[in-house]
Structure 1
Amino acid sequence: MKKLGILNSEISSVISRLGHTDRIVICDAGLPIPDQVTRIDLAVVPGLPSFFDVLEAVLTEMQVERAIFADELKTAQPAALARLEGTLAGADLSSVGHEEFKELTKEAKAIIRTGECTPYANVILQAGVTF
């Protein structure tokens, strides 16, 4: 049995296969997930697990050089944006319109769906390198 880190086999597997600039998405319960992208559905009930719980767990194993979020987060959820900025300190953060964000998800290796019900609680994480 794995001793440390992410125990979810699908998430662990996706992270281990990422190369430089590959992307994964962590999203709220409502983001549409393209059919061609691997869906890792963790949602149990509204709010469980939370977006930030999953993000923080993923960051223990994934080197992130860039993160993309929806512009709408800035006005709709300023507290969530502040927490996102703090959690992803050191990564290059940028934003795009929500419709463009949804288009970018089509290029992801996987989308991890949480039980989060906070609008626009979504992020695209781009893999960096550790060397």
Structure 2
Amino acid sequence: MLKGIPKILSPQLLKVLCEMGHSDRLVISDGNFPAESMGRNTIVIRCDGHGVPELLDAILKVFPLDTYVEKPVNLMQVMLGDKVETPIWKTYEEIVTKHDGRGKAVIGNIERFAFYDEAKTAYAIIATSEKALYANIMLQKGVVVDE
């Protein structure tokens, strides 16, 4: 056990977060995301039984967002014609704002198939049991600065 580390962050996940360097990307996927097929050439970490918001909040306690890009946080854009509401995105805005002073301005959207392409090159994909649709989120790691 360690002090100050959110309990939801497993040893495997902490190791991966530590290994990641500046500009590496991390996908936290919902339960419908094809994590295993997208992650054939990357690390896939299973976090079954957990949702994206609780993992996002815990990760952002230890994971700096990139300050060298305009949108270090990206969501999977809803496909044209899909009549899907995305209230979870508001939750993401609140969590990101809590951990990054730039607030929701750092959050962008990536078209669904472009998101898949980006996910294939991410450092790691975290597979969750999140039931919300279009709940996938991609984070780009920044630099840890002594405070």
Shorter-chain TM-score above 0.5: yes
- Is 1:103 matched up with 2:117? yes
Distance in 1, Cα, partners of 2:59 & 2:94: 15
Provide runs of 4+ in structure 1 moved above 6 Å.
none
Distance in 1, Cα, partners of 2:22 & 2:46: 24
Distance in 1, Cα, partners of 2:31 & 2:62: 23
Extract unaligned runs of 5+ from structure 2: 67-71
Cα root mean square deviation, aligned = 1.7
Q: Residue deviations 1:85-129, cap 9 Å, x none? A: 221122621111111111110111111111111111110100011
Partner of 1:30: 32
Extract unaligned runs of 5+ from structure 1: none
Aligned residues of 2:26 and 2:140 also touching (Cα < 8 A): yes
Q: Residue deviations 1:21-57, cap 9 Å, x none? A: 11111011111122111110111xxxx3111011111
Provide the TM-score with structure 1 as the length reference: 0.87
Identity of paired residues, percent?
25
Q: Residue deviations 1:45-79, cap 9 Å, x none? A: xxx31110111111111011310111219x72332
Provide the TM-score with structure 2 as the length reference: 0.78
Which among 37, 44, 51 is matched to residue 39 of structure 1?
A: 44
Partner of 2:20: 18
Deviation at 1:3, TM superposition (A): 2.4
Q: Which has the larger radius of gyration?
A: 2
Distance in 2, Cα, partners of 1:4 & 1:60: 10
Distance in 2, Cα, partners of 1:3 & 1:120: 34
Q: Which has the higher strand share?
A: 1
